[in-house]
Structure 1
């Protein structure tokens, strides 16, 4: 399983999002999986991957939360969570998305 967190430097949510992804991986029984971080620095970098704003979490190259449009813009992403809009999904949302993708 190849899991990546795509982010831009000026969007602070990527740090906490990474922690949440690691926790979700452990909870889903994938503690051996390594989360890789990819800094998106240019519009060309964004166009080359499934980037939909920072942070974007991909699993085997696919956006773990499809539905947002791909974007070449170097901007922050907003997620729908049970508590409303947020800069990252919850641990539970990430775990459920990983489980649904892998199973």
Structure 2
């Protein structure tokens, strides 16, 4: 499984997003390497189809299904919608559902994760 957290410099939601992915993986009983990818320029944002910071992708797919058809790319903050509310982070349930293919409420097991930083 390939997991990426794309972000811009000084994003206040970067670390909480990575922690939320860890929580979702733990809930799903899944192990994976999380790649943190800094997006530095507008050209990079367009090339990476970056919707804003932080963007969480699992196997190349955005964890927010509604955002997958979006075509507005650029450097800026990102918000996620769930149950009619906006947040700067994807919910654990949304990330868990995408990472496991199951509905929220996954079983909790111990696991080892590594975080990679890439620019």
Relative to the length of structure 1, the TM-score reads 0.84
Partner of 2:59: 60
Partner of 1:87: 88
* Unaligned segments of structure 1, at least 5 residues: none
The structure with the larger Rg is 2
Partner of 1:30: 30
* Unaligned segments of structure 2, at least 5 residues: 103-119
Are 1:50 and 1:58, in contact at CA under 8 Å, matched by a contact in 2?
no
Q: Following superposition, which runs of at least 4 residues in structure 1 exceed 6 angstroms of deviation?
A: none
CA distance in 2, matches of 1:48, 1:24: 28
CA distance in 2, matches of 1:73, 1:2: 23
Q: How many pairs does the alignment contain?
A: 100
